[in-house]
Amino acid sequence: MRYIKELMPYIIIVVVVVLFRGYIATPVRVDGDSMNPTLKNGQILILNKLDKEYERMEIVVFDYKGERLIKRVIGLPGEEVYIKDNKIYINDEEIKDYSDSVITADYKRVKVPANSYFVLGDNRGGSADSRIIGMISIDEIKGSILFRLVPPTKIEG
């Protein structure tokens, strides 16, 4: 009995860490260059799993065919998105693009379905994003990025 009493604080710590990582926040590693220059390959980010309402320009992590991808939310549910002459339009209004990357090809007008998002990587020329893989369902999104752990900085956007 004394042995269990001595172990109890450690058991509580393990349970809290497991619950925290499972339901609140967890680290994720950037894999690839699709979010350059904002995020670099190998950086460690903290994912907020509680966030379920995403805003334009917020960076999200989602599952796509067994892979975790990190992209920026551009189009919200119900909006019409298209790209013309290296400019992004939402409902026929040009939006301020967070990326300096050049978009080499126009993208046809699409309506973002309910409970879905149109996402782009910041490295527009080297990103498999909604232009290729389609809209991202809210159910596929694991959460939004709170901050960069390694190196430690707040992520803009």
User: So what's the pLDDT on residue 50?
Assistant: 87
Residue 1 has pLDDT above 80, yes or no: no
pLDDT tens-place string over residues 33-85: 999 988 999 999 989 988 788 999 999 999 999 899 999 999 999 999 999 99
Instruction: Say which of 49, 65, 71, 137 is annotated catalytic.
Output: 71
Rounded-to-integer distance, Cα 96 and Cα 150, Å: 28
User: So what's the pLDDT on residue 32?
Assistant: 92
Q: Report the percentage of the chain scoring pLDDT > 70.
A: 90
Structure tokens at 40: 């670099």
In our burial notation (b when 16+ CB lie closer than 10 A, e otherwise), range 10-35 reads eeeeeeeeeeeeeeebbebebebbbb
Q: Specify whether 71 is catalytic.
A: yes
Rounded-to-integer distance, Cα 46 and Cα 41, Å: 15
**At 7, is the pLDDT very low, low, confident or very high (cuts 50, 70, 90)?**
confident
Asked whether 134 and 119 are in contact (CB, 8 A), the reply is no
Omega cis (within 30) before 113: no
pLDDT tens-place string over residues 83-96: 999 899 999 999 98
Instruction: Say which of 34, 101, 127, 144 is annotated catalytic.
Output: 34
- Bridge-based pairing of strands 116-120 and 59-64 is unpaired
Q: How far is CA 129 from the centre of its chain?
A: 11
Which domains does the chain carry?
27-150 (2.10.109.10)
Residue 152 has pLDDT above 70, yes or no: no
- For the chain, the average pLDDT equals 87
Q: Specify whether 34 is catalytic.
A: yes
